[in-house]
Structure 1
């Protein structure tokens, strides 16, 4: 069944092909090797420099919809200063945990390393950098370290493994000089695991008495109301680890045991022992708001990504989010922007945080799940329609679907290429490359703001999510990382991976170039044109008032597909070399397998 939008009408004048990316699969459905050395690129065809952050409006006044994001874990990127590898030299709680051969330990990447690689990021067309949390962590919890940044003790200073506050300020200033924004990843749901329970950890808080239960079982709100509670205890010598000081008071935490991530305990429970903050408390709302107002004033970031949003009561966000945006505007950051992590594919649940919760945007997990459905599980392109037909749920005074943050994978769920590798379809490397590039094209050119997960531009794959998707860009010593062959080259993660000639790096730079050139791809209203209930053509238009109309056509099938779009190319018109003019006949476009095309029709 072909699904079409009968109300769609195309303008027949000024038709021009903007870009076509095509990686072919033979008629017998066997993938052919891709010659990455000889394939023509858009930059070669144009013979012009690709657009990057220099070509955009000044960062301070730039709309979020103008950005191309790079999501990076600083510890796994580049080591700019080996002197900070072991963390603090004076505070033992934030010292140590450095072991480059262990995927759960610090590997030495830092803020100075990020600053050194700004030209690399700019060359790929990146205009905004989102860092995993950088505030001072408890260096060790159990047998793992806080390399990822999510075990915060001190909200006033950067983790010493990553550098100093002054290093961070220098990095932000350097990025701003390149017209690149910097976004922090922040946490209000929990702090590092310091508070223990007598019933689970003994009177001193240093034992572990409930091994058979694998944690401290959650106490429900009903149990708490009936007086069945845990007795919270802070081990001797750890009473003043957190900053600001009010965070050391046990009364500002729920203290109800470990969450199962479902039901009420997803709000009130501890994440594997991490101290769950009582965000229902008015004092906590005020305190957390002041913490992050101070962060904005001190470092002048351009926005925040907010962690674990669905695990905090929504009333908290309704007060917290507008207060921070207002504060940023008051101190001269007019386009300060915040987006939340709501790990859900349910559009109604996602949009609740941008409307009721008064947050500006969220990461679009619904689109990511649809990318998995269509490009990994080989379901129909109607799965994409199911996402976009609900875009109106996001509309309010400061939110709309064009501001959603699009992504293919991340540090928790893993990389899109890794999902392809581990799927039941036994994809070849060539087909993994094709599908990975097509997924990124959807992230760039469908409505929303594109994010590239660090390492994707170098063909990283990985063995799964969490630690298995947090590889080193600098030469790695982790065996389980280094046994992966990277896509589209002969390297592994044991090599330095900042290759600006890599197929993916160059392709993403070209995607950014097109994205920046045509405002309709960033601000245009998206309308559905064509979809199918099996792999095939998915087409949309992006229209910006009466000024510009763009048509984007994707083919998710392993064979070429034809679709009637209602316009034709002029005979002899110069088009991208990967596409043959005789494949567009009488208004019908024949799209090669696993490819996409973008046209301007006015």
Structure 2
């Protein structure tokens, strides 16, 4: 069930069957409630039997390993040049796992782990995407044992570990034609002939030419294919990773990804980077891998919350997903990452940011929150959006506690929340509300100077007489459902998340 066509009754609702087919039904409100109940009941058992159900409970915290934490908490380190290594390590991540777990995250996404090469006198492979030797881990991050210890410690904290991997390219060439620096792929025949991607609408060019000048591996070459296949299976077994984030997915022929998806196994979450706003283009890869980063929704949320675009765009993107993606509930939803300027660099209004974060946390999809969000990081384009977090692990900041509170509720009620659909309840250009299970989420993009908004809600998951409370204010902001409706009042651009009064958790 994807969403209401209109927020007044009667209306339209889009439905998607397990095969991905969509249809529209016209209804009166009582019939709609009965139909929703029967639809959810019908799909409940199949969802419970789905191994991906555990992934839908993920709240992922993305870490740039080199920028997160050093091994020694007593060392105060500055990093004046963000194109170089700054000193973050796997031991540092291990040290700060309680900080992550306390915030409410149960999964982390870490940088690629293999040894990288550098440009002499220039940029370094601190990010992990300039592979030189698949057989070695990046010594700047630590040893193989450090990595194993970090994964084990994370698992002991109830945190799954998703590893970032690259199969499209290697690091920058020091001398054109000399591939000997790349230990795993030292021969010219392992690469596509030199050309640069200039036309992103030409898929052949995207797959065989170089991204940012980086030598492009030929995955159809038997040695390249077998080496990459053996490597991915070996690191998953060796380090016991729970999931995989795949870099530069469209730059590789899709047949290769079908093989990799089978090798990774159905028990691990896989999400791929398809840096594109076209839902159909992204959907092709999502249907192959199981999920991708939700870039079409990212661009939508950016337009809506940062730039004040109509909130009807959210409906449009969700409906497009329903038609193009088999499992839109597994897409990775985000508002910040290492490849884009941070939200607060584009838009400084904190309430607009909070609304975007509330949407990411509770809406359809698996949420990813980028490290430093909780400390109000506001870096611009790469590398300035990859700031160091060293010695800034403050769990009293407003955003840390804002995220923590929402994840506290989401985790507590995850068993029922994750098996219920995202249902649009009310939408205007400046207001978007939806429900999942007994959660009613109200967001707006008017910002701090937006004054007061009042909306009467008639489509919702509650019954007459139910008392519902906003989790941000607890028992201080409760309302009673009467005549099948209630009023939502938002002041100064705030977001609200209502739950039944009996669901309010003690501090």
Indicate the residue corresponding to 1:508 in structure 2.
403
Q: Which runs of 5+ in 2 are unaligned?
A: 12-26, 35-50
Distance of aligned partners of 1:127 and 1:556 in 2 relative to their CA distance in 1, 3 Å threshold: same
CA distance in 1, matches of 2:193, 2:239: 32
Confirm or deny: 8 A CA contact 1:402 1:522 kept in the other structure. no
Indicate the residue corresponding to 2:22 in structure 1.
none
Name which of 462, 466, 474 aligns with 2:382.
466
Give the C-alpha shift of residue 280 in structure 1.
3.4
- Classify the secondary structure of the residue corresponding to 1:317: helix
Indicate the residue corresponding to 1:306 in structure 2.
246
Confirm or deny: 8 A CA contact 1:551 1:599 kept in the other structure. yes
1:589 partnered with 2:477: no
Instruction: Give a deviation string over 1:258-284, Cα, whole Å, max 9, x none.
Output: 223622332221223211001233543
* Structure with more relative contact order (C-alpha pairs < 8 Å, separation 6 or more): 1
Distance of aligned partners of 1:572 and 1:77 in 2 relative to their CA distance in 1, 3 Å threshold: closer
- Classify the secondary structure of the residue corresponding to 2:441: strand
Indicate the residue corresponding to 1:257 in structure 2.
195
Name which of 420, 426, 429 aligns with 1:524.
420
Indicate the residue corresponding to 2:159 in structure 1.
180
Confirm or deny: 8 A CA contact 1:555 1:561 kept in the other structure. no
1:368 partnered with 2:298: yes
Distance of aligned partners of 1:573 and 1:118 in 2 relative to their CA distance in 1, 3 Å threshold: closer
**TM-score, structure 2 as length reference:** 0.81
Give the C-alpha shift of residue 347 in structure 1.
1.2
Distance of aligned partners of 1:166 and 1:62 in 2 relative to their CA distance in 1, 3 Å threshold: farther
Instruction: Give a deviation string over 1:429-479, Cα, whole Å, max 9, x none.
Output: xxx2111111110001111111110000111111x22101011111xxxxx
Indicate the residue corresponding to 2:318 in structure 1.
388
Q: Which runs of 5+ in 1 are unaligned?
A: 13-59, 83-97, 198-232, 327-334, 422-431, 475-495, 543-547
Indicate the residue corresponding to 2:331 in structure 1.
404
Between 65-74 and 3-12, report the one with greater CA deviation.
3-12
Indicate the residue corresponding to 1:120 in structure 2.
99
CA distance in 1, matches of 2:236, 2:318: 34
Give the C-alpha shift of residue 497 in structure 1.
1.1
Indicate the residue corresponding to 1:493 in structure 2.
none
Indicate the residue corresponding to 1:88 in structure 2.
none
Give the C-alpha shift of residue 529 in structure 1.
2.2
Indicate the residue corresponding to 1:343 in structure 2.
275
Distance of aligned partners of 1:270 and 1:394 in 2 relative to their CA distance in 1, 3 Å threshold: same
Indicate the residue corresponding to 1:539 in structure 2.
433
Give the C-alpha shift of residue 65 in structure 1.
0.5
Give the C-alpha shift of residue 395 in structure 1.
4.9
Indicate the residue corresponding to 1:268 in structure 2.
208
- Classify the secondary structure of the residue corresponding to 1:523: coil
Distance of aligned partners of 1:574 and 1:181 in 2 relative to their CA distance in 1, 3 Å threshold: closer
Confirm or deny: 8 A CA contact 2:113 2:138 kept in the other structure. yes
Give the C-alpha shift of residue 583 in structure 1.
9.8
Between 385-394 and 498-507, report the one with greater CA deviation.
385-394
CA distance in 2, matches of 1:572, 1:137: 56
CA distance in 2, matches of 1:175, 1:502: 24
CA RMSD of aligned residues (A): 2.9
* Rg larger in structure: 1
Confirm or deny: 8 A CA contact 1:370 1:384 kept in the other structure. yes
Instruction: Give a deviation string over 1:21-57, Cα, whole Å, max 9, x none.
Output: xxxxxxxxxxxxxxxxxxxxxxxxxxxxxxxxxxxxx
Indicate the residue corresponding to 2:359 in structure 1.
442
Between 574-583 and 112-121, report the one with greater CA deviation.
574-583
1:143 partnered with 2:160: no
Distance of aligned partners of 1:317 and 1:573 in 2 relative to their CA distance in 1, 3 Å threshold: closer
Confirm or deny: 8 A CA contact 2:470 2:499 kept in the other structure. no
Indicate the residue corresponding to 1:564 in structure 2.
457
Give the C-alpha shift of residue 531 in structure 1.
1.5
